[in-house]
Amino acid sequence: MSYDGAPPATLENGPRVWQGSMKKREIGVCLFFAGSFIILFLNLWGRNLENHDYLRYAEVAKEMIQSGDWIVPRFNGEIFLHKPPFLFWLIALPSTIHGSVSPFLARLPSAFFAWLGAITVYLWGRKIWSGRRWGMVSAGILISSYLYFWQGRIARTDMVFSVLILLSLYFFHESYSVEDPSLSTLFSFLFMALAGLTKGPVGILFPLLIMFLFLLRRSQLKYFIRKDSIFGYFVAAVIPGVWVVLFLHQMGWEEALMAWQESEILSRQAPFYLYLTRVWVDFAPWSIFL
């Protein structure tokens, strides 16, 4: 029996169809993140800094540039220890090139980290659920949540801090599941250290607690005594520790202690259930599924 027609699609055209499908998916992912970038960055410069931007953070960065002192944060000339300096540095670095702290540059770190967080969630979701679709769904839910989107467009520490912890946990999960975990472990502790340099010790202790609970459930606590983990502790301690040492060297123990005691760190009070009452609004519209 002779066959004069075109060859079956599975023999000749199959690879082309598969390659075309893959290319469409890749284009879809690129378009998704390009659109996310535009949404987060659009008109960041269009309004002046307001109270919910935490005007003082932009002012601290401005005073860093003017004084040339990048170690001791100051607000109106007074020592400012409300937060460690990482966000102030992120604002001040591009502002030094620009010549001033603009509304766009003050909000730029939050917008960039919000976008980076969406990419991280996509990569994590794609790996866990073995598919681009669920990675995009995860990233889409994140970026369309009210609080995440709002925090990504204002000059506060919250977005930078949250995404640094997300990155730390993402690379921890990578280090837990790959054959050679050394590089992933290093990145995990590096981002943990930067989180500590953004909001203090909680940036280190919180991801460590999550790691501990994860490993405890799987009876894998030996992770914490691996050589790469021990080196990670060194990284997590040294990066924020260098700033602390330089700060103390410049200010002196007594003046630094007085500044810390007078800061808002000790005077801030909020009920423990605060976030339980806020979650329904902050994560709308997806909070209806909680």
Q: How many domains does the chain have?
A: 1
Phi then psi for residue 233, to 5 deg, are -60, -40
Can you give the pLDDT at residue 3? 46
Instruction: With respect to residue 138, please indicate whether it lies within any of the assigned structural domains.
Output: yes
Averaged confidence pLDDT in the chain: 86
pLDDT at 18 over 80: no
Closest to 229 in 3D by CA, of 196, 186, 197: 186
pLDDT score, position 46 = 81
Give the pLDDT band of residue 2 (cuts 50, 70, 90).
very low
For residue 5, being part of any structural domain is answered with: no
In a domain, 259, yes or no: yes
Dihedral sign for Cα atoms in the order 81, 82, 83, 87: negative
Check pLDDT > 50 for residue 1. Answer: no
The band of 87, judged by pLDDT with boundaries at 50, 70 and 90, is very high
Is pLDDT above 60 for 4?
Answer: no
**Does residue 66 sit within a domain?**
yes
pTM: 0.86
Question: What is the domain extent for residue 38?
Answer: 31-264
Quick one: pLDDT at residue 51?
63
Average pLDDT for residues 92-101, to the nearest whole number? Answer: 92
Tell me whether residue 103 is in a domain. Answer: yes
Residue 3 lies in a domain: no
226-277 confidence digits (pLDDT tens): 999 999 999 999 999 999 999 998 888 777 777 776 665 545 556 656 667 7
The answer to whether position 38 is within a domain reads yes
Q: Does residue 159 lie within any of the structural domains? A: yes
